[in-house]
């Protein structure tokens, strides 16, 4: 059941990966680390590659997890760069009006 929820999360994350890879606000080190990890996951030097069926599912699960983690980290980096440096981030509950 967890595998299916991971695949569902990946279905929403994977379409976001490619635009974030092209975004200049996402750091190059994050893009490179994600690409390297993806290559390592799908490489033939796999721990479970020789076990029938399990080799396919572990790669799919790891790629889904990698895509989800990349999307979360990249969006945080973009938000951090979008904030003005001198202003603190103000978080208020939805029912509390902001002071004028």
Could you report the per-residue pLDDT of 55-84, keeping only the tens digit for each?
A: 667 777 788 888 889 999 998 988 887 766
Domain extent listing, the chain: 2-81
Could you report the per-residue pLDDT of 14-58, keeping only the tens digit for each?
A: 888 888 888 888 889 999 999 998 888 777 776 555 566 666 677
Quick check: helix, strand or coil at residue 1?
Answer: coil
């Amino acid at each position: 059941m967890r595998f299916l929820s991971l695949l569902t999360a990946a279905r929403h994350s994977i379409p976001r990966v490619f635009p974030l890879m092209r975004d200049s606000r996402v750091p190059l080190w994050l893009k490179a680390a994600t690409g390297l990890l993806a290559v390592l996951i799908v490489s033939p030097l796999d721990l479970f590659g020789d076990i029938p069926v399990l080799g396919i599912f572990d790669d799919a699960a790891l790629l889904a997890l990698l895509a989800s983690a990349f999307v979360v980290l990249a969006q945080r980096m973009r938000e951090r760069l979008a904030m003005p440096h001198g202003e603190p981030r103000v978080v208020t509950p939805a029912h509390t009006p902001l002071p004028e």
